[in-house]
């Protein structure tokens, strides 16, 4: 404390105050951290103070005249079968319960961690045996092992601790083993060994920090589990004995008298529940605090004020409605005994129907109580729903009001019921009820007529944007199969929106093979996914139109779309192993699409599959169809993928890096298969690749993408002869020997690939362009025709500056 002033006005990041460290911020970044501290404080204080504040007398003294009482001013939670105060006994049991749980957990942790660590360093065969043993022990229910152990060590508090400690150690041993084995294999440990550090230092400096997070969380979980297990044993009568009592033992007494004094069991049960929750929250918050990768995530949460964080409407409503429920559950025990809590609903309904045959004293209160009970239930339910939807949030807020009316009238009626003014009690209860009824009707009418809260655009559906003007079809292709205008994919991230695919216009002619080339991150794969409407969440796709065979798929219903794309478009992905379902036979995967879309089955379907397998040159197709993907070689799998795509005779195949995962000879085969299909069946192919060599080999035209835009659209035959976009030039220059040797690693293009978060103002390529001039920084170059079949987005080519032409 004395040092504090010296640093108070210095912005030294190294001397962060504890509560400003990323650890602590992450710890507190969600309500669970706050709750954990709060509850842990209360528990700790109770454990310390309860034995001091409560005399033995208060806890043990019997008072038979006041046994099994409900809550009253003397005994807040009532009394047990010997007339002792339930609350005091529950509090008094705190230190013992915690102490037993902690010692059992401590024992399990020590035994388990030691066993696990030793196992990890055993020689191979022995280690396997030890592991198997641990696994076998894990297979048995822990509580059963504990019960058996209790039989051996004897029924006592110490026995229970011992039994739980041993019974729980296998699971901790396994965690410790996994951690130790993982850490021992890490490179830096090996290098530390080479450097000659002693084992002790290696453990202290490298191993402990690396596994601390998991160990702490696991230990806390073990403590929670131990608490439960020890109380379970006590509850069964196998733990704490004699005059001692912990929560488990209190519950045993309570369960026997559940019908008379429910609180006798509920109070210690709640105590266990709260302690378990505390430990759970603590573990959660500590894990968050100790995991540096979560620190940055929480930063965005930090930007809201802590008030907003903790008292956001949902937290408030959730806890509020839960409190309401609890309060109203226990209220009846505080109220005049005229009320029968079990009959509220029935009698309430009877009263409303005018059929009640009750003494008048009860009626007013009954009506109010009915209102309260149902209100609280509905409020709780809506509270949960309100968490998900704005509509329910409002409904819940209003219901709170109704409950308020109800509560008010309830208390009034109780007060009046004591005096003899029954008419007034009844009237006040009725008033509350009718007011509530009117409010409900009004509110339901209002909430459900309020559409603004619920309309939200659905994601992943291409819908025309209205901002930019539609670029007219400006390419005179013979028979256009696919026409795309203004295709954009947007991601709204917390750091701002990015558009990895930005205003793409392209046409594909029937029977063409068109390549799309670009570095990773250029948006080429996402363009393919957007065309196929498979963009992952939370991407938002928009377009003026996407016409396939003249039909605009952006205006189709989901059902139409499924049928249309299912038969007109097929996709082939990069990694055939992961793209085929490992658990299904190739035949099943081949035939499922035509079964759905063309309603084929039986022999026809089988023949079709055989034909397609023949198309892609898979021999012994009959047998192959019955095999699983893992029985195929890599190239064969990709062919099976292609055959699968061909099943419905699509007019367009989009192949996303179909050769990248394969080795060179197989690549050539796949390319051949694609070319053959194109020639024999006239299928249009859009081939996406980062490898311009592959594209040149098979395509007639190539689209070059950079930072989400098409920067060049050119015939492959013109690629080597005409003036190109500077990026295309660089791409070609990066291929060593253009059309022969693709084994060699690609020379890379100078400069860094574009960062979509942070694109330069004008031309996205400007930072890496060697021709860059002043205008490039000001405007983004549009994609314009330089020839009939050649489009470029570069000022240098479309509107060359005066100096450039002079040179």
Please state the separation of Cα 67 from the chain's center in Å.
51
- Write down the least CB distance from residue 269 to another protein, Å: 5
Given ligand SF4, another protein, none, residue 140, with its beta carbon under 5 to 8 Å by kind, binds another protein
- Quick one: which of 486, 776, 783, 791 contacts ligand SF4 (CB under 6 A)? 776
Which C-beta is closer to another protein: that of 224 or that of 412? 224
Tell me the three state secondary structure of residue 572: strand
- Write down the least CB distance from residue 776 to ligand SF4, Å: 3
Distances in Å between the Cα of 488 and the Cα atoms of 470, 474, 780 are: 13, 19, 16
The footprint of another protein on residues 561-580 (CB under 8 A) is 561-563, 565-566, 570-571, 573, 575, 577-580
What's the first-to-final CA gap in the chain, in angstroms? 72
- Quick one: which of 163, 693, 765, 790 contacts ligand SF4 (CB under 6 A)? 765
> How many residues at the interface with ligand SF4, by CB under 6 A?
12
- Quick one: which of 504, 705, 766, 783 contacts ligand SF4 (CB under 6 A)? 766
Could you say whether residue 100 binds another protein (CB under 8 A)?
no
Please name the residue that has the structure tokens 């029977």. 511
Given ligand SF4, another protein, none, residue 794, with its beta carbon under 5 to 8 Å by kind, binds ligand SF4
Which distant-in-sequence residues (6+ apart) come within 8 Å of 633 by Cβ? Answer: none
Could you say whether residue 342 binds another protein (CB under 8 A)?
yes
The footprint of ligand SF4 on residues 388-417 (CB under 6 A) is none
Could you say whether residue 377 binds another protein (CB under 8 A)?
no
Could you say whether residue 707 binds ligand SF4 (CB under 6 A)?
no
The footprint of ligand SF4 on residues 249-278 (CB under 6 A) is none
Could you say whether residue 332 binds ligand SF4 (CB under 6 A)?
no
Cis geometry, peptide bond prior to residue 538 (ω within 30 degrees of 0) = yes
Could you say whether residue 148 binds another protein (CB under 8 A)?
yes
Cβ-count burial of 67 within 10 angstroms (0-12 exposed, 13-18 middle, 19+ buried)? middle
* Calpha distance 681→653 (Å, rounded): 12
| CB 488, CB 541: distance < 8 Å | yes
Tell me the three state secondary structure of residue 679: helix
| CB 351, CB 363: distance < 8 Å | yes
- Write down the least CB distance from residue 779 to ligand SF4, Å: 9
User: For 673, how many CA atoms within 13 A lie in the half-sphere containing its CB?
Assistant: 29
Cis geometry, peptide bond prior to residue 485 (ω within 30 degrees of 0) = no
Could you say whether residue 608 binds another protein (CB under 8 A)?
no
Please name the residue that has the structure tokens 């046994």. 67
Tell me the three state secondary structure of residue 709: strand
- Write down the least CB distance from residue 757 to ligand SF4, Å: 20
Closest CA to 499 of 455, 535, 473, 547: 535
- Write down the least CB distance from residue 298 to another protein, Å: 14
Q: What residue spans of 93-207 are helical by DSSP H? A: 94-121, 124-139, 142-153, 157-184, 187-194, 199-202
- Write down the least CB distance from residue 536 to another protein, Å: 6
Could you say whether residue 150 binds another protein (CB under 8 A)?
yes
- Write down the least CB distance from residue 226 to another protein, Å: 11
Taken in order 560, 563, 565, 567, is the CA torsion positive or negative? negative
Could you say whether residue 754 binds ligand SF4 (CB under 6 A)?
no
Given ligand SF4, another protein, none, residue 578, with its beta carbon under 5 to 8 Å by kind, binds another protein
| CB 237, CB 155: distance < 8 Å | yes
Please state the separation of Cα 356 from the chain's center in Å.
52
Given another protein, ligand SF4, none, residue 581, with its beta carbon under 5 to 8 Å by kind, binds another protein
Given another protein, ligand SF4, none, residue 698, with its beta carbon under 5 to 8 Å by kind, binds none
* Calpha distance 6→14 (Å, rounded): 14
**Percent helix / strand / coil, the chain, rounded to 5:** 60, 10, 30
Stretch of 55-63, 208-216, 384-392, 790-798 contacting ligand SF4, by CB under 6 A: 790-798
* Calpha distance 573→465 (Å, rounded): 29
Q: What residue spans of 472-532 are helical by DSSP H? A: 524-531
Distances in Å between the Cα of 519 and the Cα atoms of 224, 246, 688, 806 are: 51, 66, 11, 33
Which C-beta is closer to ligand SF4: that of 515 or that of 781? 781
- Quick one: which of 15, 121, 140, 434 contacts another protein (CB under 8 A)? 140
- Write down the least CB distance from residue 578 to ligand SF4, Å: 36
| CB 528, CB 546: distance < 8 Å | no
- Write down the least CB distance from residue 768 to ligand SF4, Å: 8
| CB 671, CB 703: distance < 8 Å | no
Which distant-in-sequence residues (6+ apart) come within 8 Å of 314 by Cβ? Answer: 386, 387, 393
Given another protein, ligand SF4, none, residue 766, with its beta carbon under 5 to 8 Å by kind, binds ligand SF4
Tell me the three state secondary structure of residue 547: strand
Which C-beta is closer to another protein: that of 228 or that of 501? 228
Cβ-count burial of 257 within 10 angstroms (0-12 exposed, 13-18 middle, 19+ buried)? middle
Could you say whether residue 714 binds ligand SF4 (CB under 6 A)?
no
- Quick one: which of 271, 769, 790, 791 contacts ligand SF4 (CB under 6 A)? 769
Which C-beta is closer to ligand SF4: that of 575 or that of 723? 723
- Quick one: which of 410, 632, 781, 783 contacts ligand SF4 (CB under 6 A)? 781
Closest CA to 506 of 304, 337, 704: 704
The footprint of another protein on residues 275-314 (CB under 8 A) is 276-277, 280, 284, 314
* Calpha distance 322→328 (Å, rounded): 10
- Quick one: which of 166, 726, 742, 756 contacts ligand SF4 (CB under 6 A)? 726
- Write down the least CB distance from residue 801 to ligand SF4, Å: 9
Which C-beta is closer to ligand SF4: that of 131 or that of 759? 759
Could you say whether residue 144 binds another protein (CB under 8 A)?
yes
Which C-beta is closer to ligand SF4: that of 158 or that of 799? 799
Could you say whether residue 323 binds another protein (CB under 8 A)?
no
The partner residues of 791 in beta bridges, in order of sequence, read 713, 785
Which C-beta is closer to ligand SF4: that of 168 or that of 765? 765
Residues 234-273, one symbol each (x = binds another protein by CB under 8 A, - = not), give -xxxx---------x--x--xx--xx--x--xx--x--xx
Could you say whether residue 147 binds another protein (CB under 8 A)?
yes
Could you say whether residue 772 binds ligand SF4 (CB under 6 A)?
yes
Distances in Å between the Cα of 735 and the Cα atoms of 328, 524, 670, 723 are: 76, 19, 21, 18
- Quick one: which of 64, 497, 583, 737 contacts another protein (CB under 8 A)? 583
Which distant-in-sequence residues (6+ apart) come within 8 Å of 614 by Cβ? Answer: 621
The footprint of another protein on residues 215-234 (CB under 8 A) is 224, 228-229, 231-232
- Quick one: which of 189, 771, 784, 801 contacts ligand SF4 (CB under 6 A)? 771
Instruction: Note the residues at the interface with ligand SF4 (CB under 6 A).
Output: 726, 763, 765-766, 769, 771-772, 776, 781, 794-796
């Amino acid at each position: 404390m004395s040092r504090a002033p010296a640093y108070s006005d210095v912005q030294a990041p190294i001397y962060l105050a504890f509560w400003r460290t990323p650890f602590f911020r992450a710890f507190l970044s969600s309500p669970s951290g706050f709750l954990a501290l709060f509850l842990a404080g209360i528990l700790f204080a109770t454990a310390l103070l309860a034995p001091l504040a409560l005399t033995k007398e208060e806890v043990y003294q019997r008072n038979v005249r006041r046994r099994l009482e409900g809550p009253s001013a003397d005994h807040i939670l009532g009394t047990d079968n010997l007339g002792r105060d339930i609350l005091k006994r529950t509090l008094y049991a705190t230190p013992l319960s915690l102490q037993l749980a902690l010692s059992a957990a401590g024992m399990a942790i020590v035994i388990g961690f030691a066993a696990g660590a030793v196992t990890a360093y055993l020689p191979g065969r022995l280690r396997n045996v030890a592991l198997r043993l641990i696994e076998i022990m894990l297979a048995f229910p822990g509580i059963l092992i504990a019960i058996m152990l209790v039989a051996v060590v004897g029924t006592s508090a110490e026995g229970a601790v011992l039994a739980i400690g041993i019974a729980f150690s296998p699971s901790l041993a396994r965690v410790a083993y996994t951690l130790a084995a993982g850490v021992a294999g890490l490179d830096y440990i090996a290098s530390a060994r080479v450097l000659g550090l002693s084992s002790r230092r290696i453990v202290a400096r490298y191993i402990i920090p690396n596994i601390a997070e998991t160990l702490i969380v696991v230990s806390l979980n073990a403590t929670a589990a131990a608490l439960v297990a020890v109380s379970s044993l006590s509850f069964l009568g196998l733990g704490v004995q004699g005059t001692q009592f912990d929560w488990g033992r209190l519950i045993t007494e309570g369960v026997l008298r559940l019908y008379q004094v429910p609180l006798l069991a509920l109070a210690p049960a709640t105590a266990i529940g709260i302690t378990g929750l505390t430990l759970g929250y603590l573990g959660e918050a500590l894990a968050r605090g100790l995991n540096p990768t979560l620190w940055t995530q929480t930063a965005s949460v930090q930007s809201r004020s802590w008030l907003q964080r903790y008292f956001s409407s949902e937290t408030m409503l959730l806890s509020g409605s839960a409190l309401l429920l609890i309060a109203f559950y226990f209220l009846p025990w505080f109220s005049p005994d005229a009320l029968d809590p079990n009959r509220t609903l029935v009698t309430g309904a009877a009263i409303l129907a005018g059929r009640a045959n009750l003494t008048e004293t009860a009626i007013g209160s009954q009506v109010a109580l009915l209102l309260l009970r149902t209100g609280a239930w509905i409020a709780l339910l809506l509270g949960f729903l309100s968490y998900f939807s704005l509509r329910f949030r409002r409904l819940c807020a209003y219901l709170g009001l109704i409950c308020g009316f109800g509560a008010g009238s309830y208390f009034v009626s109780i007060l009046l019921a004591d005096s003899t003014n029954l008419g007034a009690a009844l009237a006040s209860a009725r008033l509350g009820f009718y007011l509530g009824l009117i409010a409900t009707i009004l509110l339901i009418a209002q909430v459900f007529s309020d559409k603004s809260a619920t309309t939200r655009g659905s994601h992943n559906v291409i819908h025309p944007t209205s901002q930019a003007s539609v670029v007219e079809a400006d390419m005179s292709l013979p028979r256009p199969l696919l026409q795309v205008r203004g295709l954009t994919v947007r991601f709204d991230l917390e750091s701002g929106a990015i558009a990895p695919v930005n205003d793409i216009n392209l046409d594909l002619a029937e029977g063409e093979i068109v390549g799309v080339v670009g570095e990773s991150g250029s948006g080429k794969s996402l363009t393919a996914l957007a065309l196929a409407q498979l963009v992952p969440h939370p991407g938002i796709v928009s377009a003026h139109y996407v016409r396939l065979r003249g039909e605009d798929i952006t205006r189709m219903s989901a059902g139409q779309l499924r049928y249309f794309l299912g038969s007109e478009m097929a996709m082939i992905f990069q990694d055939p192993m992961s793209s085929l379902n490992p658990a299904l036979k190739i035949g099943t995967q081949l035939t499922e699409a035509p079964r759905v879309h063309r309603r084929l089955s039986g022999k026809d379907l089988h023949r079709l599959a055989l034909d397609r397998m023949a198309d892609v040159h898979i021999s012994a197709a009959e047998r192959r169809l019955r095999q699983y993907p893992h029985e195929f070689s890599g190239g064969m799998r990709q062919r099976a993928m292609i055959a699968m795509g061909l099943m419905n005779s699509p007019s367009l195949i989009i192949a996303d890096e179909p050769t990248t995962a394969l080795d060179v000879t197989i690549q050539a085969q796949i390319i051949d298969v694609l070319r053959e299909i194109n020639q024999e069946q006239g299928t249009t192919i859009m081939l996406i690749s980062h490898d311009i060599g592959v594209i040149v080999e098979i395509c007639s035209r190539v689209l070059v993408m950079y930072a989400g835009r098409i920067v060049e659209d050119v015939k492959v035959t013109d690629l080597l002869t005409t003036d190109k976009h500077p990026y295309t030039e660089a791409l070609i220059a990066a291929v060593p020997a253009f059309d022969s040797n693709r084994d060699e690693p690609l020379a890379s293009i100078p400069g860094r690939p574009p960062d979509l978060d942070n694109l330069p103002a004008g031309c996205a390529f400007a930072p890496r362009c060697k021709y860059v001039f002043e205008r490039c920084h000001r405007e983004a170059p549009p994609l314009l025709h330089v020839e009939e079949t050649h489009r470029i987005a570069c000022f240098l080519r479309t509107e060359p500056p005066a100096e450039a032409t002079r040179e």
